[in-house]
Structure 1
Amino acid sequence: MTVLVPMTAAEFAPFRQVSSEEYARENVESGRWLEEGSLERAFNEIDKLLPQRENTKNHKLFTITCSITGKPAGNIWVFIDPEIATAFIYNLEILPEFRRQGLAQQALREIDDVAKACGAKKIGLHVFQQNSKAQALYKKMGYAVLSINMGKSLEG
C-alpha cells in the first residue's frame, strides 16, 4: 500500500538528480541521444519543465511512501493540462528495495484519482522501448499504445 505525499523542497534535489540520470541513460540506451552531453541535456529538459521546481504550476510531484513502513519508496510526477483535460505522467520511480510489491500499481491508481480531481479525462505517459517491465505494468493498468516512434542506426 502506498501513500502519495507532496514532494518537499528537500526531496526535490535528489529527485532531480536521479531522474536526470535515469532519463539520460534511457535516451542513450534507446538510441535517441548520444552519451556525450546526455546528462546535461536531461537536466536542462527537467529544469525547463519545472522552472519553479516542486511548485511549478500544473505539475504535481509526489513522494511515494510505503504505508506499512512509512519509508519513502519512490516518486511520481504528473502534469495536468486543464485546457485539454489531460494528464501526463512524466516519471514513476520505485526504489529497488520496494520493487515487485505492488507499490507502482497503487501509485498509478492514486495518481488517477489526483488527475480526475484536477479535471483530467485522460492520462498518458511515455515508456522507452527497452523497458519491458514498465510496459507490462502499464498494460496491466489499462494503458494502450497510442503511437510508435521508429528509428534506425546509420552506423555499422
Structure 2
Amino acid sequence: MICEEKVLAGNWNQEESISKAEEEYKRLLPNGEKTESNFLYTILDEAKTIGVILLAQLSENRGYIYDINILEEYQGFGYGKEAMKQIENVGKKLGMKKIGLHVFGHNKVARGLYDKLGYQTTNVLMEKEI
C-alpha cells in the first residue's frame, strides 16, 4: 500500500518503490514488531485479518500513526474508523495527548475520515507539474 501511495503522489517511481518501502519500514521498525515505543496491531473481524495499524510514541504525550491499511475488499465498511477510535484509546492509555498522521492529498476518502474524527490539518504541501 505505501508503495502505491508514494508512486501516486510522485514521491517514488514504480521501479524503486518496493526497495524504498523496505528501507522505510527498516528505518521505522529496526527491531520489527519488538521496536521500542512502536505498537503494531492487526485489525481483525473475528478471525479474519482486515488490515494493520502502526502507532509510534514520539514523546511522553505525542503519538504518530505511521500506517493504517485496510485491505481493499474491507474498505468502506467502517473498519478504518473503528481502528482509528481504538488506536486513540491505546494512545490515551499510554499517556498521549495528541496523535498525528500523514495523509496523501489524493486520498480523499482517508482525508474525509480523518476530518470526521476531528483531525486538524497542520501542513499542506502543493505541487504543479509544468
1:46 aligns with 2:22: no
- The AA in structure 2 aligned to 1:55 is K
Q: Percent identity?
A: 37
Give the whole-Å Cα distance in 2 for the aligned partners of 1:28 and 1:106.
27
Letter aligned with residue 41 of structure 1: K
Q: TM-score, normalised by structure 2?
A: 0.92
Question: Partner of 1:62 in structure 2?
Answer: 41
TM-score of the two chains, using structure 1 as the length reference: 0.78
In structure 2, the partner of 1:16 is: none
Residue in structure 2 matching 1:93, options 60, 64, 69 = 69
Q: Is the 8 A contact 1:82 1:118 kept in 2?
A: no
Deviations 1:31-77 (A, max 9, x none): 122333122111101111101101100100000111xx332211111
Residues 104/31 of structure 1: CA separation in 2 closer, same or farther (3 Å cut): same
Alpha-carbon RMSD across the aligned residues, in angstroms, is 1.4
Q: Aligned residues, how many?
A: 130
Unaligned stretches of 5+ residues in structure 1: 1-21
Contact 1:78 1:88 in 2 (8 A): yes
Higher relative contact order, structure no. (Cα contacts within 8 Å, ≥ 6 residues apart): 1
Q: How do residues 62-141 of structure 1 correspond to structure 2 at under 5 angstroms?
A: 62-66=41-45, 69-83=46-60, 85-141=61-117
Question: For 1:35 and 1:73, how far apart are their aligned partners in 2?
Answer: 26
* Aligned partners of 1:77 and 1:91 also within 8 Å: yes
Partner secondary structure for residue 147 of structure 1: coil
